[in-house]
Amino acid sequence: MNTTQEKTIATASLEAKSFHALLSGALTHSGKDEALPRLFGIYLWREGGKVKAVSTDRYRLITGEIESEGEGESSPVRLAYDDAKALISTLSKEKKGFSRVEITLAGDILSAKVGASSLTFTTYADELPPYAHLFPQEGAEPMAMPHVSFNPSFFADYGKIAGKRGQVTVRQYGENKAFEIVLGGDLEKVTWRALLMPMRVR
């Protein structure tokens, strides 16, 4: 597993609730098999003043981004699944006592200051799987919804991300293509895009 990375440094100050929502939502789509390391965790980076996250388990893909204060930009790095869970757990324990979290992405190290806790993780420079071309292009028109089936546990994750005040909209732009999942509503200032592969109708 390659951990050698160009030494870029980016710092970001984020709303704690938004960062928690970003990591928690992205982790639902992470692969769970450590034998497939490129899918095992969340890709994180800072670009254009935003902290961005992507994860996929081959059946679903989700991207999220939130505004951040800070300096510098970084290349995508993969935070391993177990480390992402540890960071989310710390955020969950501390989030009532603080409003912001400070993170630094420096080469293969991600550091986070969460309230009184400071955490450091080694990240991985695995190549981010290409995904932008999978989303519908600007101006594309959705087709009439066919008779389809979804994995219920996969689909239920979108309800968890959207929460009680959110909405989940499903669109398809061509036969046999992944469905675009549009998440709207009060999403803790995270902007989401997601794709879900349908199941074969039996």
Task: Indicate whether 19 and 81 sit together in one domain.
Answer: yes
| CATH code at position 88 | 3.10.150.10
Q: Judge whether 20 and 91 are in contact, CB under 8 Å.
A: yes
**Angle at Cα 178 formed by Cα 177 and Cα 183, nearest 5°?**
140
Are both 21 and 52 inside the same structural domain?
A: yes
The secondary structure of residue 17, as a DSSP letter, is H
- 19, 25 Cβ separation under 8 angstroms: no
Domain that holds residue 191: 136-196
Confidence (pTM): 0.89
Q: Report the candidate in 202, 151, 153 with the shortest Cα–Cα distance to residue 179.
A: 151
Q: Kindly give the confidence (pLDDT) of every residue in the chain, 202 residues in length, as a single tens digit, with 9 standing for 90 and above.
A: 444 445 679 999 999 999 999 999 999 999 999 999 999 999 999 999 999 999 999 999 999 999 999 999 999 999 999 999 999 999 988 766 568 899 999 999 999 998 888 999 999 998 887 888 889 888 888 877 667 777 888 889 999 999 888 899 999 888 778 899 999 887 889 999 999 987 765 6
Give the count of domains, the chain. 2
Q: Would 54 be classed as within a structural domain?
A: yes
Distant-in-sequence, close-in-space partners of 164: CB < 8 Å, separation ≥ 6 = none
